[in-house]
Every structure is written in structure tokens, then in C-alpha cells.
Chain A
Amino acid sequence: MERDRLKSVLESLLFVADGPVSVGRLAEVLEGTDKAEIASVLGELQSEYETAGRGFRLVEIAGGYQMRTPKEHADWIKRFYQGRPARMSRATLETLAIVAYKQPVTRAEIEAIRGVDVDGVLSTLLERRLVRIVARKDIPGRPYLYGTTSEFLETFNLKDLTHLPTLKEMEEITLQQTGDAEQPQESGEEG
């Protein structure tokens, strides 16, 4: 397919899609077009929307591509919907952050970090499908292990989990406290 035509067809597909679409899925539809070409045309679309200042952008989300409005237009859109912004409580966000970075993680492990019961918050997160049960841990009681979902990636504008902002390292001072007599076990190479 001619490149301009391919671009236009891809634009249509992304326009009608109801969620992020992977390059693989697009390649299936556009039989005979290779993934590398699709990816490069998508890249062109991305920068075209950006430079032209269009009312939508092409964003890589949850392993696919999706048309989304730019952040600067949020106020107008909310006025259009007359909706109040969706907000998450601090407890919800903290629990979600722990699941995101520590997954797969058990409820007890989350509670050990937060220092409070997370039963209610966890069921809210499950209900909103931001979190799901991924397996059971092979320890006595076989507790559930929780992980994040693709809705989580979509909600937080993430291409995949590796794009989570890096977790700040615990201050080194904790290690310093143990003094110079003992070296932390992990640094075996140096010792």
C-alpha cells in the first residue's frame, strides 16, 4: 500500500478503535504490511498531530496506540461533560503504587508497608479493575497475589510497566547506620 494511503487507513482504524491498538493487531488487519512500516507511519502521525497542534494526539498506551486529547484541553472537556474530576483518595493511590511497584504482591505485604488494613481499598481497586488477582502465593494459606491491569496503564498514561517512574532509592543512611563493621550482604563482588 502506498504510504499516504497507509497513513490515512491507520488514522481511520485508530479513530474507530475503542481502546489502545497494538501494532500487531494493525498488521493483522493490513495484511501484507510489515510491522516496522506501520510503526514508522504511526510515528509520523504522532509528530504531525503534535506540530499541527491538533485537538488529539497519538499516544503509546498499554502496549498499543490510542488517540487522546492533550492535557491543555482538559478544562474544556470537563465543562462539556459538566463532570467533576475523578479523584482518588490518598489511601487508594498509595495502595495502587505499592501494587504497581511490588507486584505480584500479597495483601499482607501491602499492609506491612502501609501499616494499616487495606481490605476496603483493595476491593475498590479490584472493582475499578485497576488491580487484579494474578495468582496465589505458594506459602501456607496460599494468599492471593495482586498485580496491575491494562486499565491501570490506560488510566495513568503508561506505555508499559517499565515506564513507571523509577522508585526513589531508600536513603543510604539506613545502610550507614549498620556501620563500617558489616557490609551489606548483596555487595558480594566488592567484598
Chain B
Amino acid sequence: MTTKVQLEIFEGPLDLLLHLIKKSEVSITDIPIALITEQYLATLELMQGLNLDVAGEFLVMAATLIHIKSRMLLPPGDEEEDEEEGGDPREELMRRLLEYQRFKEAAQELESRDILKRDVFVRSPELPEETESVAFEEVSLFDLLSALRRVLERFPKEDVHEVTVEKISLREKMQGLLDELHKKGKALFQSFFETAASRMEVVVTFLAMLELVRLRAIRVAQEERVGPIMLELAAPLEEAQGRMSSEKIEGEEYGA
């Protein structure tokens, strides 16, 4: 029995690439393809190791990257193919990234406008709507995965999938997270891993977080672009607990 965390509400392969490009401080127009491919595949592996439901699009992109990388290794001058695929094998990818980046910026522009029922109001409107959105508006899944990687570094290398004797219930972990957040109000992402005894426990804690985000019970946010990642309740405790218990969580026991 395993838990699949659905990722459809999260980002796609282009977001991951932009995230890696930004983190490595390289340019979209001159991507060090070997380095980025390596990091991309490592992230995919981490996601799969966590048993996150990696969408097919991620795998298609992985294949594309590997293809580009292999073409970069070919000696230049294969005229026919060059003409067909337009010189630099990275060009098509670069074009897609730039195009996507453009709309990401446009989305930020929209977000910064005076939004009705957030910044400006009209007379006798219906009550401002409840936050319908999922968290992750500020922190991306990939930021979280990078943070998780740092936590995992403290533990001896072993397969994430390794069978452990101890059984940790995902639901219990989720309950624990809610209680802790209710007590503290707001807490650092890292603080939830301080008492973890094993890699498995770290992973279960992380999955519990993702599951709670999906249920809109908690919110993950970053006050500044590169600041520490914070967690908080996205709904009053009882409501959050209600959402949890009404939801069927696949494979409650993890690590068995």
C-alpha cells in the first residue's frame, strides 16, 4: 500500500526547468544542458522516490532534455539535420521557456493589480469570497523539494523506499501537524523535521504536508522570495480536521 500524492494542482516541467535555471543562476538563452538535465533528472527521481504522481509531461521533458544533450555532443556541421532542427538543439526549448516566462510575468502583473474584493470593493457586494485557491501561490513545489533535500542530507543515505520496521501513519502525522500549527500559529518548514528519527519519518512528514496543502487545510508561504518557508493553518482547526477525516487517504500506513 502506498500513497500517491496528486500533483495536478502543482506545477509542470517548465516550472521545474525555470526553477533550476534560476537556482543555478544561468541564462535561459544559454542553458548548460548537461548540468540542468542532471538536476532535472535528480528532482524527478526524488519525486518518484516520494511516490509523488509524476505526470507524463515530466517524462516527456526528461526525454527531450536527454535528446538535446546527445545532440549537443554531436560534432557540428551536419548540415542537413541542422537545417531541419534549426542550428542550436536547445533553441526550441529556449523558445518555449521564454514564451512561458513571459506569461508567468503577465500573471504576476495581473496579480499586482487592484483586485476586486481583495484591494478594492464595490457597494453591497456579496461577502468577499473565501479563499478558493490552494496554497503554493508563493512557494512552489520545487522550492519545497529543495528544502526537503536539505533536510534529507542530515540522514544516512538509504533508499527512500527502504522497508522499515516502524510504521508511521500518514493520517497521524497529518493530525500532529495540524495540532502543532494550531498551537504555534505559524512555524518554520524545517522545524517539523527536527525530531525526525529516520529518513522515512522525514518523508512521511513531507507527504503529510503535501496532503494537507491539497486538502487546503494548511498554507505554505514565503515572506520573501528567498526567505524561509513557513507553514500555517489555512482554515480554523476544526474545519481543517473535518476536511481531513472526510477525505479518504489512500494507504494510511506508510513504510510497511
Query: Which residues of A pack against B, CB within 8 Å?
Result: 15, 18, 56, 59, 66-71, 74, 77-78, 81, 83-94, 96-98, 100-101, 113-117, 120, 124, 128, 154-158, 165, 167-168, 170-171, 173-174, 177-179
Q: Given contacts A88-B111, A92-B133, A157-B113, are A74 and B103 in contact (CB under 8 A)?
A: no
- Confirm or deny: B165 has a beta carbon within 8 angstroms of a beta carbon on chain A: no
Interface membership of chain B positions 1-45, coded 1 if the CB is closer than 8 angstroms to chain A and 0 otherwise: 000000011111111000000000000110000000000000000
- Size category, B interface: 35 or more
Q: List 20 A-B contacts (CB under 8 A).
A: A69-B122, A74-B119, A78-B128, A83-B130, A84-B128, A85-B117, A85-B118, A89-B136, A114-B12, A115-B15, A116-B13, A154-B116, A155-B115, A157-B116, A157-B119, A167-B106, A168-B102, A171-B29, A177-B88, A177-B91
Interface residues of B in 134-191 (CB under 8 A from A): 134, 136-137, 140
Q: Which residues of A contact B133 (CB under 8 A)?
A: 87-89, 92
Bound complex: CA of A96 vs CA of B7, how far in Å? Answer: 20
On whether the beta carbons of A93 and B111 are closer than 8 Å, the reply is yes
On whether the beta carbons of A86 and B128 are closer than 8 Å, the reply is yes
Q: Which residues of A contact B127 (CB under 8 A)?
A: 81, 83
Within the complex, which residue of A77, A156, A177 is in contact with B113, where a contact is CB–CB below 8 Å?
A156
On whether the beta carbons of A86 and B13 are closer than 8 Å, the reply is no
- Confirm or deny: B94 has a beta carbon within 8 angstroms of a beta carbon on chain A: yes
| Closest beta carbon of chain B to A67's beta carbon, Å | 6
- Confirm or deny: B96 has a beta carbon within 8 angstroms of a beta carbon on chain A: yes
Bound complex: CA of A109 vs CA of B108, how far in Å? Answer: 20
